[in-house]
Amino acid sequence: MAHRNEAWAANFANHYREFRGMIGRPVLLIQVPNQRVFSPKAASRYLDVHPQTLKKITDEGQLQAKWMRNRKVYLLEELDRYIESLEEYNPSRARLTNGS
């Protein structure tokens, strides 16, 4: 039992040192999905697009859906692949939104 407590204390000390090193530095917090299969509604939220946009990009073949028990689903890997396939933002190609 003492060995387990020593390991826990050493692990805690390591994490505490890492945490102290982060004080005063910006930290990026992300939410990691805890699922691999998404309904169309959840997939559109994950991609931050309207459900109709999700349907359109699926119908155009840019994103692949699967059938699971008579319902359409999206796999996390496929959603991430779609995100990675998007082209980089280029300000010189951006559309003007102020009506000009």
- Residue labelled with tokens 């826990």: 8
Q: What share of the chain in percent tops pLDDT 90?
A: 51
Share of residues in the chain with pLDDT > 70 (%):
67
Separation between Cα atoms, residue 46 and residue 57, nearest integer Å: 14
Range of the domain at 54: 37-85
- DSSP letter assigned to residue 33: P
pLDDT tens digits, 7-54: 777 777 776 666 666 666 666 666 666 789 999 999 999 999 999 999
Residue 15 lies in a domain: no
Number of domains in the chain: 1
Query: Does residue 16 fall inside a structural domain?
Result: no
- Residue 74 within a domain: yes
Does the predicted model carry a pTM greater than 0.75? no
Question: What distance in Å separates the CA atoms of residue 38 and residue 45, rounded to the nearest whole number?
Answer: 10
3 within domain boundaries: no
For position 30, what pLDDT does the model report?
A: 62
77 burial type by CB count under 10 A (0-12 exposed, 13-18 middle, 19+ buried): exposed
